[in-house]
Amino acid sequence: MYLMATYGEGQYVEGYYDLQIYLNHQLLEEKTLSLTEVQEKSAEFLSQFSGVNEVYYSTELLLGSWNPYKEVERNSYHKKRSGDLSIEVLPGWEIIENDKVQRTVNYSAIMSPTIFLGAPFKAEVIDTPINAEAIAPTIAKSIRIRAPNGSKAKTAFK
């Protein structure tokens, strides 16, 4: 409705699935509208809703400036399969579609122990919190193999 009020008649949204909105690129081309402008205005509009924490749009993810929060979203984005807009809701909020809960989001950190057993590890308790992303490179280093290709975190222990 917002896009129709802004740009005129047409079915601007092609679909919605899993907190992602897919825009009708063919209609935007017919009306000679800038995809980036439509995405940006849509993101600004959606950000005003209560319960919406952040709205990312594909052009921003691909070409925009980097920050650690955007990194997670950027890593899960695929330009051929992901939507034009991605909605991140606040913890405890749900998006309900057709009387069915689409997804419940809870971003609160859950502390859990990480236990490494094996020859290179000495028996000790380390109270330093580690990021879950550091587990794979730590195991790889301990068994003397390369860390996974997508791994960007440093090993948890020296």
Q: How far is CA 39 from CA 25, 51, 55, in A?
A: 11, 20, 10
pLDDT tens digit sequence for 7-65: 999 999 999 888 899 999 999 999 999 999 999 999 999 999 988 988 999 888 888 77
- Phi-psi group of 16: left, alpha or beta (phi > 0 → left; psi -120 to 50 → alpha; rest → beta): beta
pTM metric for this prediction: 0.62
* pLDDT at residue 147 is higher than 80: yes
Domains and CATH numbers, the chain: 2-104 (3.30.1360.150), 109-158 (no CATH)
pLDDT tens digit sequence for 120-146: 677 888 777 777 888 888 888 888 898
Q: Quick check: 6 and 13 in contact, CB under 8 A?
A: no
Which residue in this structure is represented by tokens 């939507």? 83
